[in-house]
Amino acid sequence: MISINLQHIKPSVIAKLQQLAQQNHRSLEEEITAILEQVTQENVIAQKRQWSPNFFERTSGAWQGEDLVREVQEAAQEREPLL
């Protein structure tokens, strides 16, 4: 395993990490590992949701079927006033 040495962390950040670790019944190392795993997983998910390159250029205005027509909508319902 790779060892990582973090030398320039603010004492206030360390205190918050220690508090989180205690709340989650983990060691400081386990807490930092859990945070890093969560952040990297969220990053992977965010990347999967991005549009592929030139997606809109390839798809915007690309409909070649019949014109899309919106049906007539009914009148909006009358609602009781809020208190």
3-state secondary structure the chain: CCCCCCCCCCHHHHHHHHHHHHHCCCCHHHHHHHHHHHHHHHHHHHHHCCCCCCHHHHHCCCCCCCCCCCCCCCCCCCCCCCC
Say yes or no to pLDDT of 52 above 80: no
- Region 71-80: mean pLDDT is 88
- Region 9-29: mean pLDDT is 95
| Confidence label for 13 from pLDDT (cuts 50, 70 and 90) | very high
- Region 19-36: mean pLDDT is 95
Distance spanning both ends of the chain, measured CA to CA: 62
This prediction's pTM: 0.51
Burial of 20 (0-12, 13-18, 19+ CB in 10 A): middle
- Region 23-36: mean pLDDT is 94
Say yes or no to pLDDT of 17 above 60: yes
